[in-house]
Amino acid sequence: MARAFFSWQRLATTLLMLLALFSSSIEARDLRLATTTSTDNSGLLRAILPQFEQARGIKVQVISVGTGKALKLAENGDVDVVLVHARSAEDAFVTAGHGINRRDVMYNDFVLVGPPSDPAAIRGGSDVLQAMRRIAGSGTRFVSRGDDSGTEQMERSYWRQLGITTAGEPWHVAAGLGMGEVLTMAGEMQAYTLADRATFATYRARTGLEILLQGDRRMFNPYGVIAVNPKKYPEINFSDAMALVEWLTSPDGRAAIKAFRPQGEQLFFVAADRGS
């Protein structure tokens, strides 16, 4: 009888230990961040996230996709937080109740890049719409992200403003790839593409492409961070998601973003510095 009691006691103790370990693994699970390829391809996240991970004592699992796919992952509860760059899509995401506590984080700009030969003769211009019209009119190849990313959404807005339909046009190539891969593809094809400045700076040397147009105010590229709504998905890691939101917009996070200067070039500017 005593032997049976001690056996049950040992079993109960073992179960309690396993339950405690299981609970700890849940509490300590990685923070899942869905983000646009530009923050990953440029090397920004590899440079700044270790500071947050060390301070918070967690690991951030980065899922690098286009903005549209990142928001879809968040809408489905597959990630805890998103860092993206398509303001209208972000606002719709929050309005629909999928995310909360959106914050401005940083910004840079888009650039039109292409081969040094510049067959559409857009070099040095200041009007992105005029340049896009010249590319379409010349029939020179243009490689599009084709992945519903923030970059492709911006590109589509230009074609809409021009009244130009690209579907089925042989000069318009929808790659369905990330920014780095699209830049590589455009370099191989000697084609034009729209890129965020940070990723282009990272890939410039290996593509042979050049910035041919920049500076149009319509090429402004802001980034925002949004936590997934815990009322919709109670099981998400909301505590760490909000910690990341707060850190990215804190003095420490802002300083880390400012300090990211590959080869001395600042590629992202913290949101509060806009216009300063």
Q: What is the pLDDT of residues 228-259, one digit of tens each?
A: 999 999 999 999 999 999 999 999 999 999 99
Which one-letter DSSP state was computed for residue 111? E
CATH numeric code, 10-107+222-273: 3.40.190.10
Global confidence as pTM: 0.81
- Whether 10-107+222-273 and 109-219 share one fold: the answer is yes
Angstrom distance (rounded) from CA 71 to CA 69:
5
Q: What is the DSSP string of 199-261?
A: HHHHHHHHH--EEEE---GGGEEEEEEEEE-TTT-TTS-HHHHHHHHHHHTSHHHHHHHHH--
Tens of pLDDT, residue by residue over 123-142, are 999 999 999 999 999 999 99
Angstrom distance (rounded) from CA 33 to CA 128:
32
CATH numeric code, 109-219: 3.40.190.10
Q: Residue 136: in which H helix or E strand, if any?
A: helix 128-138
With cut-offs at 50, 70 and 90, classify the pLDDT of residue 4: very low
Angstrom distance (rounded) from CA 223 to CA 262:
19
pLDDT, residue 12, reads 46
Residue 39, C-beta contacts closer than 8 angstroms, at least 6 positions apart: 45, 64, 83, 198, 223
Q: Where are the domains of the chain?
A: 10-107+222-273, 109-219
Asked if 32 and 240 touch (Cβ cutoff 8 Å), the reply is no
Tens of pLDDT, residue by residue over 175-213, are 999 999 999 999 999 999 999 999 999 999 999 999 999
User: What count of other Cβ atoms lies within 10 Å of the Cβ of residue 197?
Assistant: 22
Comparing C-alpha atoms, which of 28, 75, 116, 82 is closest to residue 232?
Answer: 75
Residue whose token pair is 């339909």: 165
User: What count of other Cβ atoms lies within 10 Å of the Cβ of residue 191?
Assistant: 23
Angstrom distance (rounded) from CA 2 to CA 110:
76
pLDDT, residue 263, reads 85
Asked if 120 and 209 touch (Cβ cutoff 8 Å), the reply is no
